[in-house]
Amino acid sequence: MRLVAFAQTSLPDQNASAVMSAERALALAKELAEPAFEHEALHTAAHVYNLAGRHEDALDLCQQGMSLARVLGVQNMEAEWLGVSGDAYYGLRRYREMARDQSPSA
């Protein structure tokens, strides 16, 4: 489902389908109650939201994903979440918030 969501974002006029696929993958991951699966599905959904122009929704998922990455102790994923949230802030043209949230002291 995650790969389908990514593929759909590459097709013309398929953003709504991509979002639906990503959301289904996330719902399934949550049902499985496996934090690592949920983390990957959150990452996919946030990225797909950005590609579909749903930057506020992406930021919400970034907060959830960053928290889960910390719980899982996956430091390299924290950096990936900063990238996804940076894309969302850029899409929203909220550059100051991006700089603030991405700084080492944040």
Q: Which residues contact 41 (CB under 8 A, 6 or more apart)?
A: 2, 22, 25, 26, 28, 29, 30
pLDDT at residue number 98: 75
Instruction: Tell me the mean pLDDT in the region 85-93.
Output: 94
Tell me what the pLDDT averaged over the chain comes to: 90
CATH number assigned to the domain comprising residue 64 = 1.25.40.10
Domain count, the chain: 1
Q: Which domain holds residue 77?
A: 2-102
pTM: 0.87
Instruction: Tell me the mean pLDDT in the region 19-38.
Output: 94
Residue 104 has pLDDT above 70, yes or no: no
